[in-house]
Amino acid sequence: EIVLTQSPGTLSLSPGERATLSCRASQSVSSSYLAWYQQKPGQAPRLLIYGASSRATGIPDRFSGSGSGTDFTLTISRLEPEDFAVYYCQQYGSSPLGFGQGTRLEIK
Amino acid sequence: EVQLLESGGGLVQPGGSLRLSCAASGFTFSSYAMSWVRQAPGKGLEWVSAISGSGGSTYYADSVKGRFTISRDNSKNTLYLQMNSLRAEDTAVYYCAKPHCTNGVCYAGVFDYWGQGTLVTVSS
């Protein structure tokens, strides 16, 4: 089973700043089958990135994903007020599907 | 417009049973594998189970294997999760989720549509 570890646990930044979120896998994620989701309180998760770097439909280009193997990154180039939320990475290259524990992005 | 609407959650005693439903609309339900994902209060996401479009193949997380059964009725566009021998650690919001498809390719393990979730509380 692949275990995903996200860092930092909490990231405090201001609107307009750049956010860099990390996701490290315990084993190589095959074919870069790595996704990122955003979740706001009381809402279902929202798909942002799949295939490590492909943006889902309707996702602003300030969100970008990169990485391969065991190290992946979600970057938000310039934070907007609506970007403050919890972010999860997820691997779907091997069974069972697995999620990271989440990174909380909070307003500084 | 794709819609997923879960129902069937509630309070149940340890050892009890509950059946969740997810009514789907806005897409050809039988063409897609579907999944259940849960989230314990204040915790992260956990994939629970998946089923192929035909219903012929099913998959479970080790934490629920032997206790939960996923099924679907394609004539009713509905996904189910039968949960037996419930434990306190099964307390969570349960979401049904549809896989992401683009350019004719579907990624069974990536979810671009989620329901609003239904809360299951296991407590005496």
pLDDT tens, position by position, B83-98? 999 999 999 999 999 9
Does residue A106 register a pLDDT over 90?
yes
Which residues on B lie below 8 Å from A37 (Cβ)? 45
Q: What whole-number distance in Å separates Cα of residue A30 and Cα of residue A26?
A: 12
A37 touches chain B (CB under 8 A): yes
Residues of chain B with pLDDT under 50: none
Residue A105 has pLDDT above 90, yes or no: yes
A100 at interface of B, judged by CB pairs closer than 8 A: yes
Whether residues B47 and A96 touch (CB distance < 8 A) is answered with yes
Residue B26's alpha-carbon distances to B2, B14, B29, B98, B113, in angstroms, are 4, 36, 8, 11, 11
